[in-house]
Amino acid sequence: MNWRTNFKFFKRIVIKVGTSTLTYPNGKLNLQRIEGLVMEMSDLHNQGKEVLLVTSGAVGVGANKMGYKTVPRTIPEKQALAAIGQGALLHLYEKLFAEFGKIVAQVLLSREDLDERTRYLNATNTLEAILNMDVIPIINENDTVAIEEIKFGDNDTLSAMVAALVDADLSIVLSDVNGLYDCDPRINDQACLLDQVEEITRQMEDNSRSRGTHFASGGMITKLRAARICMASGVPMVIANSNNHHVIRRIIGGESLGTLFVPRESKMHARKKWIAFGTVVHGKLHIDNGAENALLNRGKSLLPSGITRVEGSFDRGMVVDVITTDGREVARGMINYDSRETALIAGKKTSEIEKTLGSKDYDEVIHRNNLWIKE
Ligand code: GLU
């Protein structure tokens, strides 16, 4: 598959912007560049694409606002600056996106949000709901409350996890490096920028570690880690220099900018694998013939009305098997309701969920994105 020429057909795109892209070396905001990127993202959105922005800069903007020449070292001070800067950063994005008629939503994630299944599911559903509203999520780590030992720690990793979370078609990481080279370009002027990487080797990682602060700024090593997550999740990832004029448009247009990391697995395959083999199955849902047809032949989600019986004890976000009237296990999926709730709404219409449970968080018991159909 020629990945780059297919980018223009891709719908869901995660774009990560690093502090080096947002600010001048003196720490002040590079307004022209930010405005250019916001325009490009708004233009993508106008083409009917879904855009998720993962942005750094909270600590840097906070430090600058408070007149600090360097970022202080203590964690509480950094966290305080993140609180100060995040508001300012979002204010700026909101204003610029509004100029192009776009609505944005601030999403601050912490590592625990993705580690625990129920919260993982909740984060996925919230992001899906924001995208369904045609709104652009602006995502950062919740630095102010993040605990040092269990942070994402860097937004390269965060952006890759977001890309995996929402099943993105493409992830673009913009920074002040051109991409990955076959050797250090500062030492060797014959160094070649790699157009495409199929496998991250030990040597690539070692090279990235030994690089000095400028070339590795933000860290090529964290970008390689992010690329690994994307590749394993079936999401192609491009690292490119935000200095390139119209960088986003050109990447989506298929131009050979930066380095493309080719996913090892197809997206469906990676997701299927996780649901099929990556988790323990905690229960069984028996479904009627109508639901079987909707799931297997029409690619639909599983609604409560098609469920005839619930077996097992499970929480929201756990994986369950789906069984037909003749006892075949035809699908497996991550469930939106726990076993007690599912039993209560089984056989009922979606419109009756709220009356039955007192509230309705989801229409679907298993969303089709979280459903693996056995072949
Ligand atoms: N979350 C941090 C911030 O907004 C940035 C982390 C990073 O640059 O990777 O300042």
Question: Ligand 1 center to residue 288 CA distance, Å?
Answer: 49
d(CA 189, CA 214): 16
What pLDDT shows up at residue 214? Answer: 36
* CB 59 less than 6 A from any atom of ligand 1: yes
User: Cα–Cα distance between 307 and 290 in angstroms, integer?
Assistant: 10
CA dihedral (139, 145, 150, 151) positive or negative = positive
The answer on 159 and 25 residing in a single domain is yes
pLDDT at 216: 31
pLDDT in tens, the chain (375 residues): 789 999 999 999 999 999 989 999 888 999 999 999 999 999 999 999 999 999 999 999 999 999 988 888 888 998 999 999 999 999 999 999 999 999 999 999 988 777 666 677 788 889 999 999 999 999 999 988 877 766 777 899 999 999 988 989 999 999 988 999 988 777 788 889 999 999 999 888 887 775 443 333 357 889 999 999 899 888 999 999 999 999 999 999 999 999 999 998 776 666 666 677 666 789 999 999 999 999 999 999 999 999 999 999 998 888 999 999 999 999 999 899 999 999 999 999 999 999 999 999 899 999 988 898 886
Domain residues for 133? 3-272
**What total of structural domains would you count in the chain?**
2
Predicted confidence at residue 211, as pLDDT, reads 46
In this structure, the answer to whether residues 235 and 308 fall within a common structural domain is no
Backbone angles phi, psi at 142, to 5 degrees: -80, 70
Domain boundary (238, 253, 272) is at 272
With 0.85 as the threshold, say if the pTM is over it. Answer: no
In this prediction, residue 272 carries a pLDDT of 67
CATH number, domain containing residue 65: 3.40.1160.10
The pair of structure tokens assigned to 42 is: 């708004």
Co-location of 168 and 230 in the same domain? yes
Q: Amino acid letter at 50?
A: E
The CA 160 to ligand 1 mean position distance, Å, reads 14
We report the CATH number of the domain holding residue 344 as 2.30.130.10
Handedness of CA 56, 57, 62, 68 (dihedral sign): positive
Residue 230, both tokens: 């994307």
CB of 58 shorter than 6 A to ligand 1? yes
Among candidate residues 248, 272, 296, the one where a domain is terminated: 272
Q: Where a domain ends, among 226, 244, 272? A: 272
Instruction: Write the burial class of residue 37 (CB in 10 Å: 0-12 exposed, 13-18 middle, 19+ buried).
Output: buried
- The atom of ligand 1 lying closest to the CA of 59 is 10
